[in-house]
Amino acid sequence: MLHAQQFVPRPGSSEAVVGGYAFSATLAIQDITGLATSGVSASHIAKRLEPSTESEAILFALTSEQPLRPVTDLGYRELFDDDLDHTEAWLFVSLPLLEDRQVIEANFTFDSEIAPLPGEPVPTEPWVAALSLLDDLSTRLGRPICQLWVTHSPGDDTPPGVVEAGYTAAFREDQATFEIAGLDSLPALAPAEFAVIEGPGFFSRRKAGPQEVEQFSSLLTAASRDYPRGELIMDTIDWDLARIRDAGARLKDRGGAQLTGLAYVDGVIVGLCEVVRFHADDASVCELGLVYVLPEHRGRGIGAAMLRASLSRAKEVWEDLETAYCSYPADSPAANAIMRGLDAEVVSSTTAWQKR
């Protein structure tokens, strides 16, 4: 039987626990993608675990022994360095604090010591323990909706026990990589004008034009409402300037830098494209964030041209840039068409399993 132990970050606390989880998560994604540039840094995880007005993150280990330990505020035994020798899996939990206050989001990872190699049988007990922990958290926290995000090899994949525990596959996105040099395959012209600015939206030194802040806030709110999420239960985020600036401050604090591409039609912002790079990551790699065009302006090549303009500018700013990572809804015809045009390679999929 496996037992849930909760990591409690403290000033001056050991880095072994966060490092152990980051190593296991990186090994897992590299086994799936086969790419050395895949993964997550311990510093990024440590930042995620810091207090935030937007969400609370909690790291759990599932261990094979049950030593005497102090009990946390949530009622679980606390996790210490000595417990890492008996850890078989990890559950990284996120609790949204502004919207989706009925939701628990979680990511499951096998510990590196027992992680199955590709093609080997998947151990069942860690999955059963993780699903039991989510049920317990749901009851203790009064959050009846559980969303478990599982990254796996491209295509469909069903982890042990999730269907029996009452979960259904609510959404799937694919992760792909493509070379920046392939941008020439995308159209450069479209019935729109483009600008690429530093920072997330208006978290920058650039002075916004008349009504731009309102237009950009409205665009982000529309993306939150309309972006494909399958059957996932998610509240719409009502974006305003304060929230945009808060998001920019969090990104900067986590060691990230962003460029934002904007598409204008008749002087009005109708689309955006986020390009992000983290200082702790390989300098040749960037990530595509949100790419969104208002529905009434789709089908005219604006999204593809905006993507080309944004990444071309990113290459100018970050001279070492060679490869872009992106995630997109697996069943989106538009996204798949653009990825085919870029000769992108799907390296992994992530399925969101939901129980309510």
Domain ranges of the chain: 3-166, 178-346
What does the pLDDT look like over 79-115, one tens digit per residue? Answer: 999 999 999 999 999 999 999 999 999 999 999 999 9
Backbone angles phi, psi at 343, to 5 degrees: 60, 40
Average pLDDT over residues 230-239: 96
Q: Is the pLDDT of residue 156 over 90?
A: no
Q: Is the pLDDT of residue 203 over 60?
A: no
What does the pLDDT look like over 272-323, one tens digit per residue? Answer: 999 999 988 899 999 999 999 999 999 999 999 999 999 999 999 999 999 9
The alpha carbon torsion through 195, 197, 200, 206 (nearest 10 deg) reads -120
Coil, helix or strand at residue 177: strand
Q: What is the CATH number of domain 3-166?
A: 3.40.630
- What's the fold here for domain 178-346? Aminopeptidase (3.40.630)
Take residue 311 and report the two structure tokens written for it. 């990444």
Element (H, E) at 23: helix 16-33
Q: Is the pLDDT of residue 12 over 70?
A: no
Residue 252 pLDDT level (bands cut at 50, 70, 90): confident
Coil, helix or strand at residue 43: helix
What does the pLDDT look like over 282-292, one tens digit per residue? Answer: 999 999 999 99
C-alpha angle 333/334/340, rounded to 5°?
85
Asked if 281 and 324 touch (Cβ cutoff 8 Å), the reply is no
* 241 vs 205, more confident: 241
Indicate the pTM of the whole model. 0.93
Mean pLDDT of all residues belonging to the chain: 93
Average pLDDT over residues 129-152: 97
Residue 215 pLDDT level (bands cut at 50, 70, 90): very high
Chain centroid offset of residue 73 CA = 27
Take residue 4 and report the two structure tokens written for it. 């849930």
342 CB-contact burial (10 Å; exposed 0-12 / middle 13-18 / buried 19+): buried
Asked if 148 and 106 touch (Cβ cutoff 8 Å), the reply is yes
Take residue 68 and report the two structure tokens written for it. 């005497």
* 262 vs 200, more confident: 262
Q: Is the pLDDT of residue 200 over 90?
A: no
